[in-house]
Structure 1
Amino acid sequence: MTSETALRDLNLLPKSERTNETSSKDILAKPYVEPSDENVGEKQRKNTVSLVEPPVNGSEVGHSGTDVVVAEVEYIESDKLNDLDDIDECLKVLLDGLGSKDWVLLCETLNNVRRFSIYHKEALQDILDNVITLVVKALKNPRSAVCKTAIMTCADIFKAFGDTIVDSLDPLLVQLLLKSSQDKRFVCEAAEKALIDLTIWVSPVLLLPKLQPYLKNRNPRIRAKASMCVSRSVPRLGTEGIKDYGIDKLTQIASSQLSDKLPESREAARSLLLELQTSYEKSPVLAPEQETPSDEPLVYSWEQFCESNLPKLSAQAVLRVTSSITQEAPVSGL
């Protein structure tokens, strides 16, 4: 799927994702109908972190006066996931499980994808494209339980496969930017963490071109999350990598975000500009040849570099930011 196709998803948030919902760090709950039981109420009172999601299609609870019984599904951190008991059997049913309409089974299967990524990533290699397609579908699921588990699955896939998933990254990236920009806090936090993992495990040379289109998205929250990803990714290039990638191009990108609507975008731009200034001063650009010969080559200062590569007003804005940061640096160390 191309970036252009994926971008269309940015404006298609389901209404069900706009509803307020209690967040849960550890346990999710699925309702189903069962005859009244005195212990049910007591169990629900004890599970203060349980999340009872309403039926998506309105058909799961069909009778009034019935009690809701909780089926628990855990959000398990990666370092606490145990290995698979039967690798071959799990692999046989993996794609079917990812396509299941039973959301509890789907969450369990997503966790198995995470286990494969952590312990047996080579077993996923041949079906990875199909797995990613179904994970994208799970990211779009209106149930927050499925959505968050799918987000956690993305993070483990990034760590396991790194640069090898770049060709399949677009649909994952667009969904993670969406989820990190929505109102459900526990989903938003999981998506932000997955985006951080993305900037860690995927090479910035490959990732930055994927992020750039989102810096111009009409949704300011999407732009802010993309700006933050760019700001985290660029330092991993190193001084020589920044120079090779194009410090002029990166400076223009950062400059464009300085006047953005949200403070997160502007803060990310300031952080990026400081990184670029530091990198530039380690390896400055040579000035054009002067009419008067000189024994030492002349170089552009940071100010001259900005003025030669940016419109006048943009250059002034960049220099105000970088000069103020430079002047404040010694004070902060006192």
Structure 2
Amino acid sequence: MMSGNALRDLNTLPMSERKNDSSSKGNFTKPCNGNTIENAEEQQKKSPASIHINGGETVNVGVEVANSEVEYIESENLSDLEDVDSCLEKLFPGLDSKDWVLVVETLNNVRRLSIFHREAMHRMLGDLIPLVVKSLKNPRSAVCKTAIMTSADIFSAYNDDLIEFLDPLLVQLLLKSSQDKRFVCEAAERALEAMTASVSPMSLLPKLQPYLKNRNPRIRAKASMCFSRSVPRLGVEGIKEYGMDKLIQVAASHLSDQLPESREAARTLLLELQTVYEKSHDLSTTISSEHPEMSSWENFCQSKLSPISAQAVLRVTNIDREGLVIGS
């Protein structure tokens, strides 16, 4: 289940997409004062600079006072630390600092530790993750994006060892992939991809399911895309164990969702389920005469879904399958 903080974070997400032409390539310039929120660009023109957000809380926007260049280092280009012990001692003060440049530097050291010194970091995960989440919430894009890249490296390093700490990271990455500047969204999407590639689907899918019903369509779409990417990693036997009927119901519910990303993820998942279902029956030497409804994909859909949902699923899988045959 989602925590109260997770629900509160999701409920404050604006319904409109935030557009920004910021680039995700190379370096970027960003004001040093980071006291901004979602609509800060418009309200920074007002003085005194303050913004009201959901719940009546007032946040100071601040004034642009200087520019500073930040370099984002890809994981494969990170070098090892010269003094691991000294870095470990400074880790928590650095992440909790009000100096955003120091926070960015410390986050990059967390990435280095995760890559080169996994065991030394493992025992610190429980205390470390809340500070990474705090950085994910930071309104300064430099801190936020570096924290997102840190999350991706942590996923790759710790896999299922991270599952008990996953919820707050997942909430923030879904939010950031849905609402922030373009280059932040793209980084968050890559982190979500790292998550689905690293965390076992049996552990991850139950974590994703609550977000598939979130009231914000962008959250649903991002969660649906993660869900669709994760299911194939179950394999044939894993899908059977998880429940083909549960998975087809999830996919069917998103076929008519508001955003095309969600609908496309549902179509992709349905084609995967159809392939697994037909493959598993082709491998069977006989089809049980006691369960004739399980003899075809069409009968299976009709037995597990409402007539309208079954019709929609069959329309999608038949059309897409015909398209694959014609194009092959």
Residues 180, 189 of structure 1: 8 Å contact kept: yes
Matched letter for residue 135 of structure 2: A
Partner of 2:158: 161
Partners of 2:325 and 2:32 in 1: CA distance: 52
Residues 24, 182 of structure 2: 8 Å contact kept: no
Residues 22, 51 of structure 1: 8 Å contact kept: no
1:12: how far off?
2.5
Counterpart of 1:107 in 2: which secondary structure? helix
1:11: how far off?
2.1
1:22: how far off?
3.6
Partner of 1:329: 324
| 4+ residue segments displaced more than 6 Å | 58-62
Partner of 1:251: 248
Counterpart of 1:283 in 2: which secondary structure? helix
1:90: how far off?
0.3
Residues 177, 191 of structure 1: 8 Å contact kept: yes
Q: How does 1:158-237 map to 2 (within 5 A)?
A: 158-237=155-234
Residues 33, 62 of structure 2: 8 Å contact kept: no
**Offset from partner CA, 1:263-318 (integer Å, 9 cap, x none):** 1110000000000000000113955627xxxxxx8852000000000011000000
Call closer, same or farther: CA 1:61–1:177 in 2, change over 3 Å.
Answer: closer
Partner of 1:102: 99
Tell whether 2:290 aligns with 1:300.
Answer: no
Call closer, same or farther: CA 1:299–1:84 in 2, change over 3 Å.
Answer: same
Q: Which of these two proteins has the greater Rg computed from alpha carbons?
A: 1
Q: How does 1:55-204 map to 2 (within 5 A)?
A: 55-56=34-35, 68=66, 70-204=67-201
Partner of 1:52: 31
1:168: how far off?
0.6
Partner of 2:279: 282
Partners of 1:18 and 1:105 in 2: CA distance: 28
Counterpart of 1:181 in 2: which secondary structure? helix
Q: Which runs of 5+ in 1 are unaligned?
A: 28-48, 63-67, 291-296
Aligned residues: 297
Partners of 1:71 and 1:183 in 2: CA distance: 20
Call closer, same or farther: CA 1:263–1:19 in 2, change over 3 Å.
Answer: closer
TM-score of the superposed pair, with normalisation by structure 1: 0.83
TM-score of the superposed pair, with normalisation by structure 2: 0.85
Call closer, same or farther: CA 1:61–1:269 in 2, change over 3 Å.
Answer: closer
Q: Which runs of 5+ in 2 are unaligned?
A: 36-59
Residues 24, 51 of structure 1: 8 Å contact kept: no
Call closer, same or farther: CA 1:166–1:283 in 2, change over 3 Å.
Answer: same
Residues 23, 51 of structure 1: 8 Å contact kept: no
1:117: how far off?
0.4
Partners of 1:212 and 1:242 in 2: CA distance: 15
Partners of 2:327 and 2:321 in 1: CA distance: 11
Partners of 1:252 and 1:226 in 2: CA distance: 15
RMSD: 2.2
